[in-house]
Amino acid sequence: MAEEPNKISENPAALSFSPHAIHLVRTAQQINVSLSQMADQKASILMGATFVVFSISVGQARSGGFSLPLSVLALFSFLSAMLAVFAVLPSIKGKAPGNPNLLFFGVFTQMAEEEFAESVLERLHADETVFRTMLRDIYQNGQVLQNKKYKYLGLAYRTFLIGLVLTFLSFVAQQSRII
């Protein structure tokens, strides 16, 4: 019978790891944190730019400067800003079933302090359990990066770019009196 992937082996001391193993795991963890920070910064920059463009567009429309290119720009700026917000919007779900990620604040804040300390200390007795705890955190952070932050961030930038292209095309068409 195969061992469950989240289950800690019965004899964790039997495995031996390279002295460099901890450096590899820490480096991977730091890279994930860095990628998450970069995604947040990019989303923040895009939100700022799109809110400025949207505000100017709405201001122009309110002062009688309504035009199709301005409407297209305002619409796509708004949509892009919303997608950028979704990229950084925290999602805290209920307690996850199975083996919890003790390094995630959404898990350990749901525990009593002593329960949290005991759970972490249990994992510090052997290198394998320490590595499994760190690897679980890396994996879950990577899932959030891939399936949420970078997904919505990519959509936000593409939406803004499409909006700019459509704004330009509608402006050219309007100037050529096609529209």
> Do residues 86 and 153 lie in contact, with contact meaning Cβ atoms separated by under 8 Å?
no
pLDDT at 3: 45
Selection from 111, 104, 98 nearest residue 143 by Cα? 104
Helix 21-62 to helix 68-88 angle (10° resolution) is 150
Domain membership flag for residue 170: yes
Domain membership flag for residue 11: no
Domain membership flag for residue 167: yes
pLDDT at 93: 73
Domain membership flag for residue 116: yes
**Number of separate domains in the chain:** 1
Instruction: Classify residue 3 by its DSSP letter.
Output: P
First-residue to last-residue Cα distance in the chain? 70
Domain membership flag for residue 75: yes
pLDDT in tens, 66-118: 789 999 999 999 999 999 999 999 887 766 667 788 998 888 899 999 999 99
Selection from 23, 59, 55, 15 nearest residue 134 by Cα? 23
Q: pTM (2 decimals)? A: 0.79
Give the structural domain span for 84: 37-175
Longest dimension (CA), the chain: 78
